[in-house]
Amino acid sequence: MIIEELIEYAEKLNLREKKGKHEIKVCSAAGCLSLKSEAVTEELRKKIAELGLEEECSIKPVGCLGLCSKGPLVTIDKDNKVYQEVKAEQASEIIEKLKIEPEKESDHFFTRQQKIVLENSGQVDPEKIQDYILRDGYKALHEVLELTPQEVIDEITLSGLRGRGGAGYPTGLKWSTVAKTGKVKKYVICNADEGDPGAFMDRSVLEGDPHRVLEGMAIAAYAVGADEGYIYCRAEYPLAIKRLKNAIKQAERAGVMGKNIFGTTFTFTVDLRIGAGAFVCGEETALIASIEGKRGQPRPRPPYPAEVGLWGSPTLINNVETYANIAPIIRNGGEWYSAIGTEKSKGTKVFALAGKIQNTGLIEVPMGISLREVIFDIGGGIPDGKKFKAVQTGGPSGGCIPEQFLDNPIDYESLSKLGSIMGSGGMIIMDETSCMVDVAKYFLDFTKDESCGKCVPCRVGTVQLYNILDRISKGEGTMEDLYELEDLCDLVKNTSLCGLGQAAPNPVLSTLQYFRDEYVAHIIDKKCPAGVCKIHEHAGKKKSEVME
């Protein structure tokens, strides 16, 4: 099969549906669905039928449009404007818009972004492969099959793409390591076990544009010499799972997945594995153990999965967003990609804005953009005139960055210099009403519950850390506790077996570094400056004193 045939196939599928001159796109991602976007679709459909406008316009459910806090979102192709907080009653109003000349879009939220990973999100119907194919889908895979695997890896290396799961390992290097293991059985795995609190980047990609991930995986499989792949998706994403299953089926039917892809000898099948609610399974060795049907626990590395992975075979494991970047890199060339971003961090990054911010939602920005631009220009700043306090990046493995570093660029190196990490892209914004001791306690509560229990520094150390933080937050801490916190953080960080434990102290260390005064206020003044922690008025006093 050649690419033209594939497009023909897509067009044929497309013809089966009635299409109007205009398209009204209604967001059907999880956020908008929960805000009842389906009712809007229904009403629109009804109104169109009532007005007899079937020839004029049709409706298309699409993936995430980004501005989740303002959902349900609707966009029409005429003015390319995103209508926010749309109610079912507004259906006719929107249909009216199709008749008048469009105004110009000027919302920073949309204009400041640069979309590569999310280029199709909000444009294609995630449940229809033809939509994806007609927007250059599977073109990259077709191109790749005419290259040698080494040429593919060279292109990825040239792009400078780094792993989007958090650690930022150079993708090209990882691929070439797996490729070099010789002619043996190999696997590619897509890590879709997104578990950081406040992170929903991968979810939106899977829900809004699942074929992009499949195409990326297939290209990777070709490059490293694998013929089998697994997507490990957390069970908490039922919509993503449904759409992935659907996408795999469609791709197999279209001949872009399965045996003899595009009529070549290249074979690649993908299977889906559902997580069982353990955060640690986002760690690659634990994830592999889980796919193998074992208890999801990490093992010491080396050997890395690139050498000894799934069922002992060399395994390439990348994150959803990493795979989502592959097709555009192949289509436009590695050089194109490497022109975006900073010297060491190339391309764009998807972030999930959450917490005390005006525009909660999903954004994609070039690397190197400042935190201030993301939070204030795109994010719209802090609601209710409150003062910004800190931004937490990287989830439970990351740290809190205070105001004085807002103008720092977002890239792997500069974030880690600030004691945080890029992470998978969760960004939680905190204002003056957030207590940093409470934030640290929240994350330790999370990590202690999610520790797998295999190694003692993480299993017991996180509990001891949590207990100290709990004591401080209740006004029962001492200044020695601060020393003990730092000492124990050092132990857990340096002696834990896997990344979960090694990174668990980061929220504590970074808040201690930048907000030590808040800890001291809890201990000495017995006060929570933000008014979050409930400190008993007799905290720290002897029982006898209280009785008097």
Partner 1 sequence: MVTPGKKVKTFTIDGKDVSGTEDQTVIEVCRENNIEIPTLCHLDGLTEVGACRLCLVEIKGSNKLLPACVTKVAEGMEVLTASDRLKNYRIKILELFFSERNHICSVCVSNGICELQNLGQKLGMTHVHYPYLFPKVNVDASHERFVLDHNRCILCTRCVRVCDEIEGAHTWDIMGRGIESMVITDLNKPWGDSDSCTSCGKCIAVCPTGALVEKYKNAVDKTSKYKKDKLKFLPYLTTMREVKNEQS
Per-residue tokens: 437: 């001791």
The backbone region for 208, taken as left when phi is positive above 0, alpha when psi lies in -120 to 50, beta otherwise, is alpha
Least distance to partner 1, CB of residue 299, Å: 7
- The CA distance from 177 to 314, in Å, is 9
Residue count of the chain, please give it.
548
- Tell me if 168 sits within 8 A of 412, measured CB to CB: yes
Which span (83-91, 292-300, 369-377, 388-396) binds partner 1, by CB under 8 A? 292-300
Closest to partner 1 by CB, 194 or 450:
450
Cα-to-chain-centroid distance, residue 428: 13
The reply on whether position 538 binds partner 1 by CB under 8 A is: no
- Tell me if 383 sits within 8 A of 489, measured CB to CB: no
Q: What are the helix (H) ranges across 379-435? A: 412-417
**The binder of partner 1 chosen from 344, 459, 474, 527 (CB under 8 A):** 459
**The binder of partner 1 chosen from 98, 153, 280, 421 (CB under 8 A):** 280
Closest to partner 1 by CB, 263 or 303:
303
Which span (138-146, 190-198, 241-249, 458-466) binds partner 1, by CB under 8 A? 458-466
Other beta carbons less than 10 A from residue 146's beta carbon: 9
The reply on whether position 108 binds partner 1 by CB under 8 A is: no
Other beta carbons less than 10 A from residue 501's beta carbon: 27
**The binder of partner 1 chosen from 141, 367, 455, 530 (CB under 8 A):** 455
The reply on whether position 340 binds partner 1 by CB under 8 A is: no
The reply on whether position 278 binds partner 1 by CB under 8 A is: yes
**The binder of partner 1 chosen from 460, 520, 532, 539 (CB under 8 A):** 460
The reply on whether position 482 binds partner 1 by CB under 8 A is: no
Per-residue tokens: 532: 């979050």
The reply on whether position 209 binds partner 1 by CB under 8 A is: no
- The CA distance from 296 to 195, in Å, is 14
Q: Which of 19, 80, 13 is nearest to 48 (CA)?
A: 19
- The CA distance from 475 to 489, in Å, is 21
Least distance to partner 1, CB of residue 399, Å: 19
Least distance to partner 1, CB of residue 464, Å: 5
The reply on whether position 235 binds partner 1 by CB under 8 A is: no
Tokens 């922690």, residue?
Answer: 533
Closest to partner 1 by CB, 158 or 463:
463
- The CA distance from 476 to 28, in Å, is 48
The reply on whether position 457 binds partner 1 by CB under 8 A is: yes
Closest to partner 1 by CB, 58 or 285:
285
**The binder of partner 1 chosen from 463, 482, 532, 539 (CB under 8 A):** 463
| H or E, element range at 239 | helix 238-254
# of chain residues touching partner 1 (CB under 8 A): 29
- The CA distance from 8 to 130, in Å, is 10
Least distance to partner 1, CB of residue 497, Å: 6
Closest to partner 1 by CB, 212 or 448:
448
- Tell me if 522 sits within 8 A of 539, measured CB to CB: no
> Which residues lie near partner 1 (CB under 8 A)?
278, 280, 295, 299-300, 302, 448-457, 459-464, 467, 488, 491, 494-497
